[in-house]
Amino acid sequence: MRKLLILSSMLLLIGIGKSMAGQADLFHYDAVTVENQMAQLNQLEGYVMSNPGITLGEMTTNGHALASLVSDPNGISGFNLINEKVLGIPGFLWGCVFGVIGVAIVYFVGQNDKAETKSALIGCVVSYLTIGVAYGVSAAIAAASGGL
Amino acid sequence: MKTTFRNILLLICLSFLPSVLVIGQQYNRIRADFSVKVKIPSGGQTLALGQVYYDKNIKQIIYYVTFPEREIWLTYDTLVYQIRNDKLVTKTATFAMAEFTVFHLALNSRMQDYGLRNTLFTATEVTKDGDLVITTWSSPPKNRQSLGNILVSVKNKQLFGVVFQDPKGGVIRKQFFEEYLLSSGLSFPGKIVEINTTEGRDSYQVTTYKNIVVDETQNDNKYFYNISGLHL
């Protein structure tokens, strides 16, 4: 019986350890892979830093080989990068998590996407209903406590 | 008796000292040199360099871009402006509100919870593994079928990583905040690595910040851009 208890405890500890380690493992990335992916851009950055004020247009005009790294068709718009969805949250969830502000954001962003705005609006209503239910329950509990 | 009373009084004063010091740390402005490098699975890539200015009372994030072209990227409210030679090139809507940026969170000493404390996300689990303290933030129960958890880890009292999961627990996005720099008492990440996973393929973004200046009293005109006169 004692051995069984010790064995169970050990298995439990191993299980807890594994589950915690699993979560910590999520906070890991392959730095070498990232560096390799950035190698060409690092080279370009080094060139630009050593030639302050130079632009891509000037590099292209001069026929600089590094310019082709970020020119069409390889180029993507850096300007569009700051247009990203914060937290990567779709319309419904913006409405749900950020309420009216979320709906407003989706409305402004998705002017051509009525479905997305509607989705955010539904999310907003759902969230307020949830809050409403929570407040209702709290009020009922408070009332009951007061009556005792 | 008098000595005991004095000691108690001193103890009370000392116990309040840390909170007074924390309250005293109010930051309003930050500027830095930035570089953003992005590579997407198709092979497309981009590099942007310049300086960024942010005043939390004005809430305009102003990127003075020097590469690829000399221009200004400005985000304010839910709009982002592209300005070249003081003329508006494009104006589009954006999700990137100032309140959820690293600049605003850092100035308000809110980096550790990634700003999630102000949302309907709730902290449902806190675990410690080695030097990482990991908090799991979950959406309201009714929405968990469509929205996964956000895991936030803190290391040495600094935001270390953020992991976004889909409802099934799959990782869709990871962010790592590294190489913290200290400027006027404000701790700010010098490097942010982001990995986005879509349909099993990863895209990478590395952002670096250098020469960080906090609460400078000069360059007022750099922190505010009069957008009222801009028209397409």
Does A61 lie in the same domain as A13? yes
pLDDT exceeds cutoff 80 at A16: no
Contact yes or no for A55 and B70 at CB 8 A: yes
In the listed set A78, A110, A129, which residue is the last one of a domain according to the structure?
A: A78
Question: Of B91 and B231, which is predicted with more confidence?
Answer: B91
pLDDT exceeds cutoff 80 at B232: no
pLDDT exceeds cutoff 70 at A6: no
Domain ranges of chain B: 26-222
Distance CA A89, CA B143 (A): 12
B212 burial via Cβ count (<10 Å: 0-12, 13-18, 19+): buried
Does A70 lie in the same domain as A3? yes
Distance CA A117, CA B78 (A): 15
pLDDT-based confidence at residue A145 (cuts at 50, 70, 90): very low
* Least confident segment among A1-5, B109-113, B221-225: A1-5
pLDDT exceeds cutoff 70 at A135: no
Per CB-CB distance under 8 Å, the chain B contacts of A84 are 95-96
List the single best residue of B37, B51, B155 to mutate versus A (max A Cβ within 10 A).
Answer: B37
Please count the residue pairs, one from chain A and one from chain B, whose beta carbons lie less than 8 angstroms apart.
173
Does A120 lie in the same domain as A50? no
Closest listed residue to residue A29, CA positions, set B209, B156, B204, B208: B204
Contact yes or no for A69 and B45 at CB 8 A: yes
Per CB-CB distance under 8 Å, the chain B contacts of A108 are 78-79, 93
> Residues B76, B59: contact at Cβ < 8 Å?
yes
Q: How many domains does chain A have?
A: 2
Domain B26-222 part of CATH 2.70.98.10: no
Select from B46, B90, B153 the Cβ nearest to the Cβ of A75. B46
Alpha-carbon distance B231 to nearest alpha carbon in chain A (angstroms): 18
Does A58 lie in the same domain as A96? no
The residue range of the domain holding A128 is 85-148
β-partners of residue B196 are B173, B203
Question: Of B185 and A79, which is predicted with more confidence?
Answer: B185
Does A93 lie in the same domain as A35? no
Alpha-carbon distance A87 to nearest alpha carbon in chain B (angstroms): 8
- B71-76 and B45-55 as β-strands: parallel, antiparallel, unpaired? unpaired
Question: Of B164 and B18, which is predicted with more confidence?
Answer: B164
Question: Of B172 and A138, which is predicted with more confidence?
Answer: B172
What is the predicted pLDDT for the residue at A83?
Answer: 47
Distance CA B191, CA B180 (A): 7
Does A73 lie in the same domain as A7? yes
Task: Report residue B30 as tokens.
Answer: 């930050």
Distance CA A143, CA B177 (A): 47
> Residues A27, B171: contact at Cβ < 8 Å?
no
Is A70 at the interface with chain B, CB within 8 A? yes
Distance CA A29, CA A36 (A): 13
- Using CB atoms and an 8 Å cut-off, which of residues 152-181 of chain B contact chain A? 153, 160-161, 163-164, 171-174, 176
pLDDT-based confidence at residue A2 (cuts at 50, 70, 90): low
What is the predicted pLDDT for the residue at B71?
Answer: 93
Mean pLDDT of B150-157: 94
pLDDT exceeds cutoff 70 at A72: no
Contact yes or no for B70 and A96 at CB 8 A: no
| DSSP secondary structure string for all residues of chain B | -HHHHHHHHHHHHHHHHHHHHHHH----EEEEEEEEEEE-TTS-EEEEEEEEEEETTT--EEEEEEESSSEEEEEETTEEEEEETTEEEEEEE-S--GGGSHHHHHHTT-GGGTTGGGSS-EEEEEEEETTEEEEEEE--GGGTTT---EEEEEETTEEEEEEEE-TTS-EEEEEEEEEEEEETTEEEEEEEEEEEEETTEEEEEEEEEEEEEES-SS-GGGS----TT---
Does A37 lie in the same domain as A65? yes
pLDDT-based confidence at residue A64 (cuts at 50, 70, 90): very high
Does A146 lie in the same domain as A93? yes
What sign does the dihedral A16-A17-A18-A20 (CA atoms) show?
A: positive
Does A67 lie in the same domain as A1? yes
Does A106 lie in the same domain as A143? yes
Question: Of B24 and A40, which is predicted with more confidence?
Answer: A40
Does A121 lie in the same domain as A90? yes
SS3 letters across chain A = CHHHHHHHHHHHHHHHHHHHHHHHHCCCCCHHHHHHHHHHHHHHHHHHHHCCCCCHHHHHHCCCHHHHHCCCCCECCHHHHCCCCHHHCCHHHHHHHHHHHHHHHHHHHCCCCHHHHHHHHHHHHHHHHHHHHHHHHHHHHHHHHHHC
In the listed set A78, A94, A122, which residue is the last one of a domain according to the structure?
A: A78
Does A62 lie in the same domain as A93? no
List the single best residue of A37, A72, A89, A94 to mutate versus B (max B Cβ within 10 A).
Answer: A37
Is A123 at the interface with chain B, CB within 8 A? yes
pLDDT exceeds cutoff 60 at B115: yes
Distance CA B101, CA B53 (A): 12
